Structure 1
Amino acid sequence: MYITNIEELKSKFEIETIVSSLTDWKEGSKAKLCCPFHQEKTPSFSISKSKNIATCFGSCGKTYTPISFVMEYKQVDFLEAVEYAAKVHHLAVEYAENVSEEQLEQLKKRQQKKEQYLLYNRLLASAYYNHHHGAEELKGEIQFDKRSLQGSTVKTFGICQTPEAWHFTKSLKLDNSILKELGIIKQGKKGFFDAYRNRVLFPIHNPSKAIVGFAGRAMNDDQIKYLNSPESEVYHKEQLLYGLAQQLSAIKKTKNMYLVEGYWDVLSLYDGGFLGAVATGGTSLSKQQAKLINRYAERVVLLYDGDKAGIEAAIRNLPILIELGLHVDIISLPEKQDPDSYIREIGAEGFTIYCKTNKTDAINWYLEHELQNSDRDNFAIQRISELAIELIAKIKNELVRDCYIRDVSKLLDIKQSVLSIQLRDKMGALNFESEQKSLSSKQRADLFKYGMYEDGNQYWCSNAKGGYTCVSNFVVKPLFHLKSKDNPKRLFELLNKYNQKVVLDVEAAVLVSLDKFRLAVEAEGNYFFTGNIAQYNRIKGKIYDEMKTCYEIDVLGYHRDNFYTFGNGIYTIDKGFIPANNYGILSYQDKRYFLPAFSEIYKDSSQLFKDEKNFAYQDSKITFKDWSTLFCKVHGSKGQIALCFYVAALFRDVIHDYVNFPLLNLFGQPGTGKSFMGKNLSYMFGIAKDGFNLNSGTQVGFYNRLVLARNALVFCEEYFNSIDSRFIQGLKSIYDGIGREKGQKTGTKSLVSEVYSACMFVGQELPTSDNALFTRVINLAFSQTEYTQKESNLADELKAMRKNGELINITAKLSVLRPHIQDNYGQQYNLTFSKLKKAVKADTRLIENYASILTVFDLLKEKVSFPFSMEEVYKNCITNILYQNDQIHSETETATFWDIIEYLASAGLLVEEYDYKIEERFSWKNKQFDEPKRLLYLSFSKSFPLYREHHKRQFSKDGLTKSSLSHYIKTHPSFVDYLKSTRMGKKNTSAFVFDYDALGLSMHDEPQASTDHATENEIWEQQETHEKKLDQKKLLEQQENAKKELEYYNKALKYKGIQPQKAALLKKGKEKKNKK
C-alpha cells in the first residue's frame, strides 16, 4: 500500500522512541548502549537526539535513521518500517486509494529510493564535515578561501571543505551506483573519481531539515565555479530555498523573509546576525519557491545584487510574489555589491542601518524605475500606467488597491478616477476570465458528464437559464458498495458546508428512491436536499460511478482468495500483514475487502464484533520455536501431539478433502492441567474467551462458534457423558464436517451449514456414552495434580506469552505454508498412514486420526523448528493409539457385561438382597453427597460365572477373564468402591459398589431406605422380615421367571439355528436346575 503522508510522518519520528520500543534501553537514559546488531561488552551505540540518528561506533560502523533502524532490527521493508514507527508514535498512516498493484510497486520503490538517497546524503555530509573539522567543537572564525565564518554558523549549516583526494568517498564503502546517481562521483577513463574534490561544500536541506543535495564552490579558477546536485527523487532545485530550514523558527516568528541570490549571501548575513535571508540559488524564482515563501511569510524583501541582472530579477519576480498576496519590498544595493560583499565591507551594524533606510515598496520602486528609464512622454505614461494597473489588479484587498491607485496618480500625474476606471475594467476582464476558468478540471468534467459539480461542500446543477442552482447543503463522498447476497449495503460519508461529517450505512435500496434518501440523510442532522428527481438522478449517477465494490469478509481465518483473515487485516503469502484502514477497507490483488470489527462506522457500537476484535493480528517478537519449545516443556509428551493438532488445524479444509479431521479430547480430573492446555491453544488465535460450555450452552451458540473462523480452533468445556444428546451428535458431526440444519425464509428446502474450524473439548469423563464419538477423537489423558516449583514457573512463563493476544502472529506466519500442504498432503498422508498401520494394531479410524495430523508434521518438519524429533512424536502417538484403542475395547466389553447383568436380574437368575442389593445413602465413608444417591452392591463371586456362561451362549465366545473384567469395571465412571465383606441375605460376601443411576439399569423399582443411622439390631430385624417376604414371593414368581427364561432361550436358540428337540432337552435340564 502506498503511504501518502510519508514525509509528514518521517518529520515526526524520533530515534529515541524507536530504539526504546525495540530494545531494553529506556528513553531519557544515557545516550550510549550496547549495539543491538552485534555482541559487545562496552557500549558503542550512540543516540543523537539533536540529529535524530543512532550510530554504532563499534564493529558495525553504521548510522541509522528511525526508519532504517526499524528495517534493520525487524528485518522488514521500508513501508512496513514506516507503519511500525507510526504505530509507536501513535500517528495515523494515510494510504492512497484507487492505485493498481503495479503503481503501488513503483511508488514503493520510489519511496525506498528516496529514503536511501537521504541516508547517503546524511552520511556524506557527516564524513566531509568530520574530515575537515574533526570531532572537536568549532571555536572562533573558520577560514574558507577568501572568506571566514563563525564556528557556530559553520556547524548550523554544515559548511566544510572537501579533500583534494580523488577517491575520498571510496573509504566510506558506499554503493557506487547510488553515489553516481547523486552526482557525488563521476565515471572517468580510469574508473570513478570524486566530483566534489577541493571545494567548499554547502549541504542543501529541505524544510524538514533533511539533506537533499549539495552545492560545491570551486577553490581555484580552473574548475567550474559551482557544482550542484543533479535532479533526483529528493533534489528539486525549483522547490528549495537555501537557508530556510536553519532559520524557519525566526521566519515564522517575524513573518518576514529576505530573498537573496547565492549561498554566501545567506551565510554572511546569518553570520552577522541578520536573520531571515534565503537564497533561490540564482536570479530566477520559481512558482514552487514563491509558494514556499508564502507558506511561512507575509512580507518579503528583495535583496538582490546591485547590478543589471539583480534589477531584472526583481522586476521579473515581483508579479509572482504579488499574485500570491505577499507584501513585497525591495532594498537596492550599491552598484557591483551583493549582500555578502556589502555586509563584509560595512559590517553587520552598518548593513542593518542601510537596509532600514533604503527599504521601499517594490511596486512603487518598479514604477519609478520604469519612469526614470523612459522618455516621460504620453506614450510612456500610458505604458507605465498599464503596468501599474496590471500589478494592482492582482491585489485582493480593495483598500490596498486604493492606496496604490493614489500613489500611481501622484507619480504619473493622472487623475485617480481615470486609474480607477482602468482598474475596474481590468478587474472585470479578469473576473470574466476567472468565471470561465474558476471551475477546476474535475468540476468541468463533472459538469460535462453529469450536469452538476461540487463546490463548497454543496451540489450545483446546471439550470435552464444557463446558470447553476445549489440543490443541497452537503456532498456525498462514496466509501464503498458492500456486495452481499443477504445484506447488500452502500456506505458513504456526508460532508456539509459547515464541514460537519457523518458516515452513513444504509441498505442498497435506500438510494433508489429520492424520498428514502432524504429521510436517511436528514435523520443524521443538518443535511438537506432541495433538488428534484432529475437533479437527484444526476448526483446519484456520479455517486454510483465513484462507489467502488467491496466484499465483506464474514468468516475469519482462511479465505478462498488465498490469505488468512484477522479482525483488523489479512496476512498474505507475498505481502505479509495488510491492515484495514479506519473504515475497515483494504485492497489486495486489485480487489477490495471490508472488515467491520474495527471500522469507524461501528465505533459507537461496542457490543458488536466482540469475537472479531479478539481475533486481531498483533505483531510480536515471540517465534514459533520459542513458544513451541516452552509449550512442550510444560505439557510433555501430550504437548507434542497437541502441537501437531494445532498446526494441522490451520489446514483443516485441505486435510478434510482427503480424510476426516479428528477432534481433540482433553480428559482428566480437576487440577491436572487439561484446561490450561486448552487455553494455551486457544490463545494462538488472539485473545481467547471462555470455552463453550457443553453442559449449559445452546445449540445455536455451539454451531455459531464453529462458523466464526475457517481453519481455526474452537474450545469447548464441561463435557459429561450425560450432556444433551444433541451435543454428542454435534461433536460427531464436526468430524464429518457437517453443521446444523437450518431453514430458509423462502422455499421449503433446508440448508446444512458447514463446519469451518477444528474442535477440542475438555471434561472429567471419557466420551464413552457413544463409542462412535470416542473413535473420532484424539484423546489426551491428564492425571498429574502436584507440580514442582520449576514446573510451576515454566507454566507461568508460558501463560505470560499469551498477553495481548500476541501469539496470533505465529498462526499468521504458519498460515503462509499452505501451498506446500496443498501440493503434497495426499501423497504424504498415504505414506504416513501406512507407516502407522504397520507399527500398531488398532482401530482403523484411530490410525486415520493420528495420521491426519502427523502428515502435516512430516511435511513441515524441514520448514518449521519443531521442538521434538520425528521418532519422539511417532512413539508418543503409537503409545496413545494403543491406550485409546484399549479404552474403546474396554468400554464395549463393560457395556456387554452390564447388559447381561440386567438380564440376569430380570430373569431372576440374580436375586435381589441375595446376589445384589440397592441402597439409598447420603454419604460414602468420608464423602458427603449433595443429594441421596442409590448405590448398587454386586456380588462378583455369583455374578461372574453367570456372566461368562451367558456370554458364551449369546456370542459363541468366552467373555472377559475375571482379572480383566475386574480391571475394567473398577475404571468405569460409575465405580464407587470394593467391599471385602457386606451382608447379603443371611451371609456376608464381598461386593463391588457402583452408582446405580449412572449405570442406567433397571434392576429395582424402589430403593431401600438408608441405613446410615440405623442400629445393628434394627438392621437384623429388617433383614429377617424382608427374607420371609422374599421366600413367599419367590415361590410365586419362580414359575413365571422360568417361563420367561425359556422364551428367551427359545428365541436365542432359534436365532442360532438349534432344533426344537434339542431346545426341549435344554429346557428339561434347566427345570431340574431350578428345582435344585
Structure 2
Amino acid sequence: MSLIPKETVDQILAQADITEVVGDFVSLKKKGQNMWACCPFHHEKSPSFSVSPAKGIYKCFGCGKAGNSVQFIMDVEGTSFPEALKYLAKKYGIEVPEDNPTPEYAKEQSERDSLFIVSDFANKHFQERLHKHDHGSIGQSYLKQRGLSGNTIRKFELGYSLDEWTDLTDTALKAGYQQKYLEATGLTIVKEEGKKFDRFRGRVMFPIHNVSGRVIGFGARTLKSNDKKSPKYLNSPESDIYHKSNVLYGLYQAKQALRMQDMCYMVEGYLDVLSLHQGGIENVVASSGTSLTEGQIKLIARYTQNITVLYDGDAAGIKASLRGIDLILENGLNVDVVTFPEGEDPDSYIQKVGDTAFKTYLKEHAQDFISFKTSLYAAEAKGNPVRKAEAIREVVTSIAKIPDSIKRTVFFRSCSLIFDIDEQVLISEYNKMQLQERQQPKTGSPELDQMHFPEEVEPEKPASDTDVLVRYEREIVRMLLNYPDRMLEEGMTTCQYMLEQLEDVEFRTPLYSRFMELIKEKLCDSVVPTAEDFINYPDQEIRTEATNLLSDPHELSHNWETHSIFVPTELDLLPYGAERAVLRLKWRNVELLMKTEMEKLRLVTDPQEQDRQLNTILMLKTLHSQLGDMLGIVVNR
C-alpha cells in the first residue's frame, strides 16, 4: 500500500464533510438529525441509507454498507484506501505527498494512472487540434452547424482528430508517452507486422468522463459523408478504465442538476445531450447508442429515482428499446416517456422550436411508461384478437417488473381500461408468470420472487451460547464508543466504570477483544477514546464495525417535545443501561465457566479432585444466581 503521511490523512479526514461527499452521488433529504436517501449500493423502494453529519458516518440499514467519507468513496468508486484519500484530497484542495509505496502497489497504481494520463493527453491534443490547428476549422464548422456555442464546446471539452494516420500517436510518442498505454486505451491500433495508426481520424471527438470527471474514453463522429466503409460513430474499446456498461455520457456535467431537479432525461446520442444542456436542460445523459444496462441505471439512481426517456419519432426504434425500460422498472425507478414528431429527435426538435417551447413540450407530452406501452400495443393490435392477447401479455410482463405492489395495482387498472379487459384477468396472468418464474432457477428480483408466493419460514433456532456472548460483548463496545466520557456519577465516566468492572473479564470474540485492547491503549496514554478514533482507524474491519455500532436506524420525533410528552432516551438512562450491560456479560461468562467446569468434572476420577471441582461449580452457581437476581432473571436451582 502507498504510505500517505499520517498528518495528511488526518487533514483529509478532518476536512471531508460526509454530507458533501455522499451528496455528490445521491440526493439526500433531512429527516431528524440525519440525512436519508435510497441506497446507492442496492435496489430499494424506501430510503434506508442514513448519513449522520454529527458523527461523520453513513450506514445502510438494508444492505449493511457503512463507514466514513473515505470508505464511501472506496465503496461507490471501487477504489483502494489510498485512491479514496487522493480523491478526497483533490476535492478539498489538499496536496498529498507519498512515501515508500510497496513495489506491487506502485506498479499497479502506475499502470492505471498511466491510462488516465494518456487519455487526458489525448483529450487536450484533440482540443488543441480543434481550436488551434488549421484543419480544426473543419470540426468547428460542423459543431457550429449543429448549433453548439463556444461555451458548450469548451464545457464538454469537444475536440477534433486530424484526418491523418498517425497524428496523435506520433505526437504522444514524441512527448514521451509509451506506446503500450496508447494501445491499451485503444487510441492507437497496432497491427501484427508492427504497423501502427490512430483509431480516430477525421472525426469530431466527444470525451467520455467518469463520475469524478476524469477522461476514460472517447466517442467520435466522422465528417466524411461519402465514406461508406467507416461507421458514422466510433467509440473507444473497453479498457481497464473504460467499461461502457457502467458509463453514461454527460453524467459528470449533469450530476448536480439531476439532484436539484430530481429528474433524469435519458437520450440516445452525444448531440442530444449537448443541445439540451445548452438549452438549459442540464439534467440529461445519454447511453451513447448502447442498450441500457443495470450498471447505468444504478448510476442514475444515485442522484434521482425519476427517469424520463426521450424517444426519437422512429416507431421501430421505440419498440427495440422497450426492454431497457423494463430494466429500469425492475430496479424500482419511476419512468416517463416523451416521443417527438416523426423524423425528429431531441437535438433536431430543440433546434427547431427553441428552448422554451421544447421545455413546454416535455411537460405536456410526458406520460408514464406503462400507459405509453399499453396504448402503443393496443393501437397495433386493434381488431386482431391474437395480437391483442400477445400485446396484453407483453404489457403484463412490464408491470410484473415493478417491485411496488401499489403501483402494480394502479397500472393493472389503467391497462384493463385501455384494453377493455377485466382487471382480474390481468392479475391472474401476472400470477401465472410469477408461478412459472418460481419453478425456474431464480434470475430476477428477489423481492418479486417473494411478493405473491412467500417461502415457508423455518422455525427460528434458539441462539447459541456463543451468539448470546457475542451480543453482550458487542453491547459493551457499543456503549463505550457512543458514550466514553459521559459521567455516570460524579467522578466516574462510562469508560472508567466499564473497564473497572470488567477488569478480569476476557472478551472471547476476537473483533471485540481488539476494540477493548485499543480502548485500553488509549486510556494508558491518558486519552479518552473517541468515535473518530475507530471510524478513521486504518483497519477496515474496525472501521466498519465502529460505524455499525454508532449508527441508529431510529430517531425520537421532535413532536413528543412539542406536545410536552417526555420520553427518556438511552442517554437519560445511561447509568442503568451501563450497569445492566456489565451484569449481563458477567452473568453469561459465569454460565459458560460453569459448563466448562462441569465438562471437566466428567473426566475427573480422583475423589479429592472431584471435591475441588464440585466446590468450584457450587461457587460459580452461587455467583450466577446472585447476578441473575440483580438482573431479575429467574434461575432454575
Match of 2:167 in 1: 167
Aligned residue runs from structure 1 range 857-1006, under 5 A: none
CA 1:437/1:351 → structure 2, altered by over 3 Å: closer, same or farther?
Answer: closer
Whole-angstrom CA distance in 2 between matches of 1:80 and 1:133: 39
**1:178 maps onto 2:165 in alignment:** no
Match of 1:606 in 2: 522
CA 1:200/1:390 → structure 2, altered by over 3 Å: closer, same or farther?
Answer: same
Aligned residue runs from structure 1 range 279-358, under 5 A: 279-358=286-365
Match of 1:216 in 2: 220
Whole-angstrom CA distance in 1 between matches of 2:473 and 2:442: 28
Moved more, 414-423 or 297-306: 414-423
Q: Aligned AA for 2:280?
A: G
**1:389 maps onto 2:396 in alignment:** yes
Aligned residue runs from structure 1 range 444-593, under 5 A: 467-472=458-463
Give the CA deviation at 1:304. Answer: 2.5
Q: Aligned AA for 2:128?
A: N
Unaligned regions of 5+ residues in structure 1, if any? 4-8, 16-77, 92-103, 136-140, 441-461, 478-489, 504-519, 525-543, 551-582, 585-593, 614-1076
CA displacement 1:877-899 (0-9 Å, x = unmatched): xxxxxxxxxxxxxxxxxxxxxxx
Q: Aligned AA for 1:273?
A: G
Match of 1:683 in 2: none
Whole-angstrom CA distance in 1 between matches of 2:443 and 2:232: 48
**1:128 maps onto 2:119 in alignment:** no
Q: Aligned AA for 2:379?
A: Q
Whole-angstrom CA distance in 2 between matches of 1:274 and 1:283: 22
CA 1:304/1:501 → structure 2, altered by over 3 Å: closer, same or farther?
Answer: farther
Residue from 112, 115, 118 that aligns with 1:117: 115
Whole-angstrom CA distance in 2 between matches of 1:177 and 1:109: 15
**1:226 maps onto 2:233 in alignment:** yes
Give the CA deviation at 1:360. Answer: 1.6
Q: Is the 8 A contact 1:283 1:309 kept in 2?
A: no
Give the CA deviation at 1:273. Answer: 1.7
CA 1:143/1:272 → structure 2, altered by over 3 Å: closer, same or farther?
Answer: farther
Cα RMSD (Å) = 4.8
Match of 1:258 in 2: 265
Q: Is the 8 A contact 1:298 1:326 kept in 2?
A: yes
Q: Aligned AA for 1:157?
A: F
Residue from 180, 192, 198 that aligns with 2:202: 198
Unaligned regions of 5+ residues in structure 2, if any? 4-8, 16-78, 93-101, 134-138, 448-454, 482-497, 503-507, 530-637
Q: Is the 8 A contact 1:493 1:502 kept in 2?
A: no
Q: Is the 8 A contact 2:373 2:395 kept in 1?
A: no
CA 1:475/1:372 → structure 2, altered by over 3 Å: closer, same or farther?
Answer: farther
Whole-angstrom CA distance in 2 between matches of 1:500 and 1:610: 21
Q: Is the 8 A contact 1:265 1:340 kept in 2?
A: yes
Whole-angstrom CA distance in 2 between matches of 1:472 and 1:307: 61
Q: Which has the higher strand share?
A: 1
Give the CA deviation at 1:235. Answer: 0.3
Q: Is the 8 A contact 2:158 2:204 kept in 1?
A: yes
Q: Is the 8 A contact 1:319 1:391 kept in 2?
A: yes
Q: Which has the higher helix share?
A: 2
Q: Is the 8 A contact 1:260 1:303 kept in 2?
A: yes
Aligned residue runs from structure 1 range 556-705, under 5 A: 601-603=517-519, 605-608=521-524
Q: Aligned AA for 2:202?
A: N
**1:147 maps onto 2:146 in alignment:** yes
Q: Is the 8 A contact 2:381 2:391 kept in 1?
A: no
CA displacement 1:125-171 (0-9 Å, x = unmatched): 12322343259xxxxx9643542411221111101222345334244
SS in 2 for 1:373: helix
SS in 2 for 1:385: helix
CA 1:82/1:426 → structure 2, altered by over 3 Å: closer, same or farther?
Answer: closer
Match of 1:571 in 2: none
Whole-angstrom CA distance in 1 between matches of 2:397 and 2:85: 53
Give the CA deviation at 1:186. Answer: 2.5
Whole-angstrom CA distance in 2 between matches of 1:379 and 1:247: 45
Whole-angstrom CA distance in 1 between matches of 2:120 and 2:524: 49
SS in 1 for 2:219: strand
Number of aligned positions between the proteins: 405
SS in 2 for 1:300: strand
Q: Is the 8 A contact 1:259 1:280 kept in 2?
A: yes
Q: Aligned AA for 1:334?
A: P
Q: Aligned AA for 1:120?
A: V
SS in 2 for 1:403: helix
Give the CA deviation at 1:79. Answer: 8.1
What is the aligned-residue identity percentage?
A: 27
Q: Which has the higher contact order (CA 8 A, sep 6+)?
A: 2
Whole-angstrom CA distance in 1 between matches of 2:416 and 2:470: 60
- Per the normalisation by structure 2, the TM-score is 0.54
**1:366 maps onto 2:370 in alignment:** no
CA 1:388/1:191 → structure 2, altered by over 3 Å: closer, same or farther?
Answer: closer
CA displacement 1:234-265 (0-9 Å, x = unmatched): 00011100011101000011221111111111
Give the CA deviation at 1:472. Answer: 4.7
Give the CA deviation at 1:405. Answer: 1.8
SS in 2 for 1:212: strand
Whole-angstrom CA distance in 2 between matches of 1:270 and 1:213: 21
Whole-angstrom CA distance in 1 between matches of 2:334 and 2:218: 31
CA displacement 1:102-142 (0-9 Å, x = unmatched): xx98777444322221122122212322343259xxxxx96
SS in 2 for 1:149: coil
Q: Is the 8 A contact 1:185 1:193 kept in 2?
A: yes
SS in 2 for 1:258: strand
Q: Is the 8 A contact 2:309 2:335 kept in 1?
A: yes
Whole-angstrom CA distance in 2 between matches of 1:343 and 1:271: 10
CA displacement 1:627-682 (0-9 Å, x = unmatched): xxxxxxxxxxxxxxxxxxxxxxxxxxxxxxxxxxxxxxxxxxxxxxxxxxxxxxxx
Match of 1:187 in 2: 190
- Per the normalisation by structure 1, the TM-score is 0.33
Give the CA deviation at 1:290. Answer: 1.9
CA 1:402/1:172 → structure 2, altered by over 3 Å: closer, same or farther?
Answer: same
Match of 1:650 in 2: none
CA 1:470/1:144 → structure 2, altered by over 3 Å: closer, same or farther?
Answer: farther
Whole-angstrom CA distance in 1 between matches of 2:88 and 2:150: 39
Give the CA deviation at 1:347. Answer: 2.3
Match of 1:270 in 2: 277
Q: Aligned AA for 1:152?
A: N
Give the CA deviation at 1:301. Answer: 1.3
CA displacement 1:738-790 (0-9 Å, x = unmatched): xxxxxxxxxxxxxxxxxxxxxxxxxxxxxxxxxxxxxxxxxxxxxxxxxxxxx
Whole-angstrom CA distance in 2 between matches of 1:357 and 1:269: 17
Whole-angstrom CA distance in 2 between matches of 1:402 and 1:80: 46
Q: Aligned AA for 1:195?
A: R
Q: Is the 8 A contact 1:183 1:195 kept in 2?
A: yes
Q: Aligned AA for 1:197?
A: R
Q: Is the 8 A contact 1:325 1:395 kept in 2?
A: yes
Whole-angstrom CA distance in 2 between matches of 1:194 and 1:112: 24
CA 1:120/1:416 → structure 2, altered by over 3 Å: closer, same or farther?
Answer: same
Q: Aligned AA for 1:204?
A: I
Give the CA deviation at 1:267. Answer: 0.8
Match of 2:23 in 1: none
CA displacement 1:472-496 (0-9 Å, x = unmatched): 599979xxxxxxxxxxxx9999779
Whole-angstrom CA distance in 1 between matches of 2:278 and 2:91: 39
Q: Is the 8 A contact 1:330 1:362 kept in 2?
A: yes
Whole-angstrom CA distance in 2 between matches of 1:269 and 1:86: 30
SS in 2 for 1:220: coil
Q: Is the 8 A contact 1:283 1:313 kept in 2?
A: no
Whole-angstrom CA distance in 2 between matches of 1:128 and 1:474: 67
SS in 2 for 1:115: helix
Whole-angstrom CA distance in 1 between matches of 2:479 and 2:372: 49
Q: Is the 8 A contact 2:269 2:286 kept in 1?
A: yes
